[in-house]
């Protein structure tokens, strides 16, 4: 028998012996417990069975009944309820199992039924989270992604709840069923049926709570309608709520118009239809307005009819995408959750801090809000109607959904901005996908095994896997990809699919073999590092490129599309192509071409990986400077700038007195003044990371921070006046609240323009802030005090924290008191404090942690404060006090929230890449954690530490040589 390094392996998720047909559920919800009666209808699809084992975790069993029931046994430690039959259940025989159980909500275990933030004076807010195995905390069941069935659910709860909800359409409206004359309290009952879309257990949702509810009719181009609902905290701003539904409405309409088998066709007509539906909905709003002038009523109705006729005319003969099948699609604000959003078949939960705009929402959070609405809605088809067959297929549910989400984002923010944002997510230090994918804690897209399903909720699933899907689309073409995806959705509708089912559909529709390519991308960690050398023979006009993958011989070479273009000095393309790299060594030969001024490589980020250029350094620098100014492809252009920046940083790392070259400083200034570039990308293009590509220096966090600051200082000193002018030019002089940017049409596009403008302004502020002079302190303080939006205020606060201004601590205290009044602002404040570069970072973190407003059981607080501090490695890992604080935080948090704790442990994923002086303290910290936690109660934390230690052999050897065993001997 093989040693089980993981708790779960693919073979643990075979075909189910019993098919789940239907569940009738009855929930009696009380303040501290819920009584659940379940009628579970099964069909035996295998040989005669004398036992059915149901998943059953932390439940109190009141009764079990079934025909021919012999006995039942509850194995609490193993979380199984075994039900024995005599005589056995025969093949193809149906059986009904009735259970009556009790589940109890928790405060910090955010799985199954738990308490959410309760409004003042209301009964306890209770919601569920079932991904991946939370349903078994509600009711005995076959808790498997392949156990898809229909549901009829009855819920009884306190009549004071404004909302009692679960999956499906209302079958029996809400009514009072009992009343207590002594207390004056009553209980209501409502019945839902989810019969159209058989649903996996992890998609089940139950919620009883007190909300403000906003409802809006959604109308398709063919006049079919259903309701959009938004459930948010009582007293929420009405205008923000309406804006939230505006964006959801945009997402639903966009998915219908711009996805499907012909998503790449008739795009301009579909854009017209989209704009016309916005106008139609505005006219409908006017008709429903109490203030409409009666004299304009007929005119408005005529205009509405004309718009509908035009939409119908344009829609003729067009193929559209996913169309919602329910009567209500609902978004529910959840204040406490491990996840930003979760699809639940008709009931999407979204963290309350991201469900609607607010005056305290940062621009990045606003973008997330728009994206998560499109993402979770698209899961209705990709995840709910078609579901992966096991947790190993979570990537299959997410990767295509992220791709669609990115296309939605690009529709409003622009292709260049959206794609560059993803590329920066790949390259970002510490938290970037490349950094995480190269770390000891990384898992493949399809891992050998896992210890907890949450192990699979990583950037590998949400960034690398979508990049793999995007590479497939690049190779086979967008038309074939759209048809293949449609075929996949139709073939596996209301069923479960495996990874290679999806790949097979892409192969069939394109005629291109993809299995070998898929095997390496899905089963290997890391990414290709592609060495490129090029030559040109002026006499023959022959151009050559040698491509060599730097891949260990223990791994298969990667296969991927490699997009390139030969360009002249003005950026005009001489020749471009996409080459399918399939081997470790490849050669591209072009004949009869003009000599290029530069070669643009990996255009559009055609493959997930990095390029290393070989050749003469002076010639390479010359080409990179031209490319950074002239490349028409935004990714190729940014990669040239990134490489030049990396070269400057390496020079400064090697020489303490080195300064950036004048050519580089002028390039940065030229890019900063390029209005057309900044309109496309905001300040994304100008990002200066605290990192270098050289592994020998990549983990020198303190030195890299100093180098970046030196680089910024040199830029400002060379172009201070110009940067001040840019700061003024991009500053807002109006209040977006007064301009009602969401009023009629194009709200997301207008918001996108303002976000980019603010980015440029605040990038200029960040540069100026390194001067740390009284004049700049005054500038920062003025922006902080006069900012008309949360992003400008937060940017000023971050700059203030990093400054030497004498009033810093007082202003921090004042700002903290302001942020306590709003949970969105509080989350942003926590993150800003823990992310600061200031030397008193830890002192500030402890001050905030000790404030009564900070609640360790709240996932948002955990992520914002502890998560940001863990990623701030120059303090969390490279100072003794910071490491001690992180160690003790992990120990405390492991008993509160394992998922957040495992996220903190990612800080230790690069121990072997750090300087030897840190080996013993870091390994010692992990040893302290293992000695202080219960491996049975915190298995994910313990197993992640084992993986981290296994991935740091050099550090472990030194520790054991100098100190002693890392772990006690077995036996």
Residue ranges matching CATH 2.60.40.1840 in the chain: 528-607+609-729
SS3 assignment for 80-122: EEEEEEEEEECCCCEEEEEEEEEECCECCCCCEEEECCCCCCC
Neighbours of 100 (CB within 10 A): 17
Q: Kindly report the pTM of this predicted structure.
A: 0.95
CA-to-CA separations, 564 to 582, 601, 633, in angstroms, rounded: 16, 5, 10
Instruction: Tell me which CATH homologous superfamily contains domain 528-607+609-729.
Output: Aminopeptidase N, middle-beta domain (2.60.40.1840)
Q: What angle do CA 596, 600, 606 make, to 5 degrees?
A: 150
Instruction: Give yes or no for a contact between 658 and 652, defined as CB atoms under 8 angstroms apart.
Output: yes
Confidence bin at 967 (pLDDT 50/70/90): confident
Strands 225-232 and 328-334: parallel
Residues with Cβ within 8 Å of residue 45, at least 6 apart in sequence: 16, 17, 18, 19, 91, 92
The helix (run of H) or strand (run of E) holding residue 19 is strand 18-29
Assigned token pair, 776: 């700049």
Assigned token pair, 325: 């099948």
Residue ranges matching CATH 1.10.390.10 in the chain: 241-327+337-523
Burial of 102 (0-12, 13-18, 19+ CB in 10 A): middle
- Local structure of 160: helix, strand or coil: coil
Confidence bin at 552 (pLDDT 50/70/90): confident
Confidence bin at 749 (pLDDT 50/70/90): confident
pLDDT digits (tens, 9 = 90+) for 246-262: 999 999 999 999 999 99
Instruction: Give yes or no for a contact between 588 and 580, defined as CB atoms under 8 angstroms apart.
Output: no
- Could you name the CATH architecture of 241-327+337-523? Orthogonal Bundle (1.10)
The helix (run of H) or strand (run of E) holding residue 249 is helix 238-258
What is the pLDDT, as a whole number, of residue 738? 45
CA-to-CA separations, 258 to 206, 323, 326, 398, 818, in angstroms, rounded: 32, 12, 20, 19, 42
When pLDDT is averaged across residues 557-569 and rounded to a whole number, the result is 97
3-state DSSP: the chain helix, strand, coil percent, rounded to 5? 45, 20, 35
What is the pLDDT, as a whole number, of residue 1? 42
pLDDT at residue 739 tops 70 = no
pLDDT at residue 353 tops 90 = yes
CA–CA gap between residue 858 and residue 39 (Å, rounded):
35
Instruction: Give yes or no for a contact between 373 and 354, defined as CB atoms under 8 angstroms apart.
Output: no
CA–CA gap between residue 936 and residue 945 (Å, rounded):
14
Neighbours of 595 (CB within 10 A): 12
Mean pLDDT of all residues belonging to the chain: 94
What percent of the chain shows pLDDT beyond 70? 97
CA–CA gap between residue 752 and residue 759 (Å, rounded):
11
Residue ranges matching CATH 1.25.50.10 in the chain: 806-971
Map tokens 């209808």 to a residue: 41
Which region holds residue 915: left if phi is over 0, alpha if psi is between -120 and 50, else beta?
beta
CA–CA gap between residue 602 and residue 623 (Å, rounded):
16
CA-to-CA separations, 79 to 17, 27, 131, 520, 552, in angstroms, rounded: 19, 21, 16, 36, 42
CATH code that applies to domain 10-210? 2.60.40.1730
- Could you list the beta-strand ranges (E) of 417-515: 495-497
Residues shown for the chain: 971
When pLDDT is averaged across residues 393-401 and rounded to a whole number, the result is 95
CA–CA gap between residue 692 and residue 643 (Å, rounded):
9
Instruction: Give yes or no for a contact between 923 and 911, defined as CB atoms under 8 angstroms apart.
Output: yes
> Treating both helix axes as pointing N-terminal to C-terminal, what angle do 465-476 and 515-523 enclose, rounded to 10 degrees?
160
pLDDT digits (tens, 9 = 90+) for 326-335: 999 999 999 9
Neighbours of 429 (CB within 10 A): 17
When pLDDT is averaged across residues 707-714 and rounded to a whole number, the result is 97
CA–CA gap between residue 200 and residue 219 (Å, rounded):
28
When pLDDT is averaged across residues 893-918 and rounded to a whole number, the result is 94
Assigned token pair, 536: 């040109």
Sheet holding 598-601, edge to edge: 573-581, 560-567, 598-601
What percent of the chain shows pLDDT beyond 90? 87
Q: What angle do CA 380, 385, 387 make, to 5 degrees?
A: 105
Instruction: Give yes or no for a contact between 64 and 128, defined as CB atoms under 8 angstroms apart.
Output: no
Which region holds residue 304: left if phi is over 0, alpha if psi is between -120 and 50, else beta?
alpha
Q: What is the DSSP letter of 802?
A: T
pLDDT at residue 286 tops 90 = no
Instruction: Give yes or no for a contact between 610 and 530, defined as CB atoms under 8 angstroms apart.
Output: yes
CA–CA gap between residue 611 and residue 609 (Å, rounded):
7
pLDDT at residue 39 tops 70 = yes
Assigned token pair, 465: 């896997």
pLDDT at residue 734 tops 60 = no
| Nearest CA among 77, 328, 111, 103 for reference residue 202 | 111
- Local structure of 707: helix, strand or coil: helix
What is the pLDDT, as a whole number, of residue 440? 86
What's 806-971's CATH class? mainly alpha
Confidence bin at 733 (pLDDT 50/70/90): low
CA–CA gap between residue 581 and residue 531 (Å, rounded):
12
């Amino acid at each position: 028998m093989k040693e089980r390094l993981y708790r779960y392996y693919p073979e643990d998720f075979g075909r189910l012996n019993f098919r789940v047909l239907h569940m009738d559920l009855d929930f009696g919800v009380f303040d501290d417990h819920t009584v659940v009666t379940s009628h579970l209808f099964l069909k035996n699809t295998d040989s005669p069975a004398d036992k059915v084992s149901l998943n059953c975790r932390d439940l109190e069993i009141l009764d079990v009944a079934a025909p021919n029931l012999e006995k039942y046994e509850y194995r609490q430690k193993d979380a199984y309820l075994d039900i024995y039959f005599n005589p056995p259940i025969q093949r193809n025989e149906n059986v009904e199992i009735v259970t009556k159980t009790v589940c109890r909500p928790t405060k910090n275990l955010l799985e199954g039924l738990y308490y959410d933030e309760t409004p003042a004076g209301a009964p306890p807010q209770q919601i569920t989270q079932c991904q991946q195995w939370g349903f078994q905390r509600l009711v005995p069941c076959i808790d498997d992604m392949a156990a898809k069935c229909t549901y009829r659910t009855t819920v009884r709860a306190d009549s004071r709840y404004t909302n009692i909800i679960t999956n499906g359409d209302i079958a029996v409206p809400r009514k009072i069923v009992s009343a207590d004359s002594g207390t004056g309290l009553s209980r209501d009952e409502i019945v839902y049926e989810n019969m159209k879309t058989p649903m996996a257990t992890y998609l089940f949702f139950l919620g009883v709570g007190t909300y403000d509810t906003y409802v809006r009719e959604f109308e398709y181009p063919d006049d079919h309608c259903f309701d959009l609902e938004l459930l948010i905290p009582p007293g929420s701003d009405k205008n923000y709520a309406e804006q939230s539904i505006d964006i959801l409405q945009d997402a639903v309409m966009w998915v219908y118009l711009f996805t499907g088998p012909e998503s790449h066709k008739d795009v301009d007509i579909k854009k017209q239809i989209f704009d016309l539906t916005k106008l139609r909905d505005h006219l409908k709003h006017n008709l429903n307005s109490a203030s409409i002038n009666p004299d304009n009523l007929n005119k408005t109705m005529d205009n509405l009819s004309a718009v509908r006729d035009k939409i119908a005319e344009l829609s003729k003969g067009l193929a559209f995408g996913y169309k919602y099948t329910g009567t209500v699609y609902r978004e529910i604000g959840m204040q406490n959750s491990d996840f930003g959003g979760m699809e639940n078949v008709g009931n999407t939960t979204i963290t309350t801090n991201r469900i609607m705009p607010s005056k305290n929402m940062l621009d990045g959070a606003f973008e997330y809000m728009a994206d998560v609405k499109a993402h979770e809605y698209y899961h209705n088809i990709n995840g709910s109607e078609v579901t992966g067959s096991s947790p190993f297929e979570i990537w299959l549910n997410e990767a295509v959904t992220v791709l669609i989400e990115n296309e939605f984002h690009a529709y409003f923010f622009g292709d260049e901005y959206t794609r560059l944002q993803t590329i920066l997510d790949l390259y970002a230090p510490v938290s970037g996908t490349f950094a995480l994918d190269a770390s000891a804690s990384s898992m493949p897209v399809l891992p050998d095994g896992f210890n907890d399903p949450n192990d699979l909720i990583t950037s590998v699933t949400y960034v690398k896997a979508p990049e793999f899907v995007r590479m497939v689309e690049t190779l086979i073409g967008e038309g074939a990809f759209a048809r293949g995806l449609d075929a996949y959705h139709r073939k596996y509708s209301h069923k479960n699919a495996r990874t290679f089912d999806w790949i097979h559909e892409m192969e069939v529709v394109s005629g291109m073999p993809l299995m070998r390519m898929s095997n390496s991308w899905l089963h290997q960690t890391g990414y290709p590092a592609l060495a490129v050398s090029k030559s040109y023979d002026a006499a023959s006009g022959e151009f050559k490129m040698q491509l060599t993958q730097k891949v260990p011989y223990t791994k298969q070479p990667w296969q991927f599309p490699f997009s390139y273009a030969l360009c002249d000095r003005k950026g005009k393309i001489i020749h471009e192509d996409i080459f399918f790299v399939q081997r470790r060594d490849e050669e591209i030969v072009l004949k009869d071409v003009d000599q290029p001024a530069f070669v643009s490589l990996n255009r559009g980020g055609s493959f997930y990986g990095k390029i290393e250029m070989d050749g003469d350094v002076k010639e390479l620098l010359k080409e990179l400077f031209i490319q950074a100014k002239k490349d028409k492809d935004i990714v190729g252009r940014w990669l040239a700038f990134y490489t030049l920046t990396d070269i400057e940083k390496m020079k400064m790392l090697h020489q303490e007195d080195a300064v950036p070259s004048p050519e580089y400083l002028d390039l940065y200034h030229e890019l900063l003044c390029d209005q057309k570039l900044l309109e496309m990308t905001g300040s994304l293009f100008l990002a200066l990371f605290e990192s270098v590509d050289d592994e020998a220096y990549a983990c020198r966090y303190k030195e890299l921070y100093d180098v970046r600051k030196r680089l910024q200082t040199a830029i400002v000193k060379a172009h201070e006046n110009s940067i001040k002018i840019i700061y003024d030019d991009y500053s807002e002089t109006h209040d977006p609240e007064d301009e009602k940017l969401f009023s009629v049409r194009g709200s997301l596009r207008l918001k996108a323009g303002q976000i980019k403008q603010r980015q440029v302004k605040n990038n200029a502020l960040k540069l100026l802030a390194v001067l740390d002079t009284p004049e700049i302190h005054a500038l920062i303080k003025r922006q902080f005090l006069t900012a008309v939006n949360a992003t400008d205020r937060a940017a000023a606060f971050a700059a203030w924290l990093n400054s030497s201004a004498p009033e810093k601590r007082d202003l921090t205290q004042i700002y903290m008191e302001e942020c306590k009044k709003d949970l969105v602002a509080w989350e942003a404040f926590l993150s800003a404090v823990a992310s600061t570069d200031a030397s008193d970072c830890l002192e500030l973190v402890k001050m905030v942690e000790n404030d009564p407003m900070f609640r360790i059981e709240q996932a948002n607080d955990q992520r914002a404060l502890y998560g940001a501090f863990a990623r701030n490695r120059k303090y969390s890992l490279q100072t003794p006090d910071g490491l001690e604080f992180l160690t003790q935080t992990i120990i405390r948090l492991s008993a509160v929230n394992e998922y957040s704790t495992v996220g903190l442990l990612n800080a230790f994923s690069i121990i072997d890449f750090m300087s030897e002086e840190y080996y013993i303290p870091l390994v010692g910290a992990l040893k302290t954690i293992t000695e202080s936690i219960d491996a049975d109660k915190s298995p994910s934390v313990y197993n992640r530490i084992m993986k981290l230690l296994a991935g740091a052999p050099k550090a472990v050897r030194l520790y054991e040589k100098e100190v002693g065993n890392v772990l006690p001997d077995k036996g």
